[in-house]
Amino acid sequence: MNQQKLTERIRAQRSYLCVGLDTDPLLLPAHLKNKPDGVIEFNKAIIDSTLPYCVGYKINTAFYEAMGARGWEWMEETVRYIPEGYFKIADAKRGDIGNTSTQYARAFFENMNFDAITVSPYMGADSVRPFLEFKDKYTIVLALTSNCGAADFELQPSGDELLYERVLRTVSSWGTTDQLMFVTGATRPEAFQRIRTIVPDHFLLVPGVGFQGGSLAEVSRHGINAQVGLLVNASRAVLYASSDENFAMAAAEIAHQYQFEMSGYLD
């Protein structure tokens, strides 16, 4: 999926919501916890109920890797279940020397048909470029994350700018807007104006709305560009809107609230 198709999808759906499928088996509703396939049953119900309100799904691979081989199978089954046309992100935060990054890219782009993968830029250009070689796939590079630890490195000076600004400026020269996105956290909405001066045309994947307290209004006000340019992720707020048997209906209600608000910002 390229930028044009993603933008068209967002405008048709009146939403730039990405639902995070960070499924924790310990947090499943009681009636699913003891089922052998409770995780996949939960995921499918969440997907079915939120399809009208989002444009994509982000799978945090750690939650599935922690469950061993069965978890990996559930992740693959979840990706296959997501309908064609919805943007599928592997939140894997990979990045290593070139030949290793190539294998990571093959695993998620070829074997599981994700549309995008999150990548750490810490090891530099040769750790990121192998991901860029795959046609119609996005590499989503960590820039300004939503966690407190962002202050340890990302917000430290690097010459006459902050490190995350240097990451944005440098990495954006490695590929096109059809290849690269950046992770920029909603918990620092004051940075979005600065971010847009550095990467005015790229899509931004924005975590931190919902449980982490980020403002959808502020992110949208400062982050939307001519191509919309935002994918706002919500995970726990949607997944665990209810712990009862009506969990899918509750998830749909929260996703609908996000979609309704986003629709207003697209006018």
Q: State the distance between the two ends of the chain, measured CA to CA, in whole angstroms.
A: 24
Q: What CA–CA distance (Å, rounded) separates 234 from 57? A: 9
Query: CA–CA separation, 46 vs 122, rounded Å?
Result: 34
Residue 16 has what DSSP assignment? Answer: -
- Beta pairing, strands 56-60 & 87-94: parallel
Asked about 93 being catalytic, the answer comes back as yes
Those residues whose C-beta lies under 8 Å from the C-beta of residue 261, and which sit 6 or more positions away, are: 216, 217
DSSP secondary structure letter of residue 26: G
Find, among 250, 235, 267, the residue nearest to 60 by Cα: 235
Among the options 35, 44, 93, 135, which is catalytic?
A: 93
What single letter denotes the amino acid at residue 56?
G
**Helix (H) or strand (E) run with residue 78 in it:** helix 68-81
Query: Are the C-beta atoms of 12 and 236 separated by less than 8 Å?
Result: no
Residues annotated as catalytic are 93
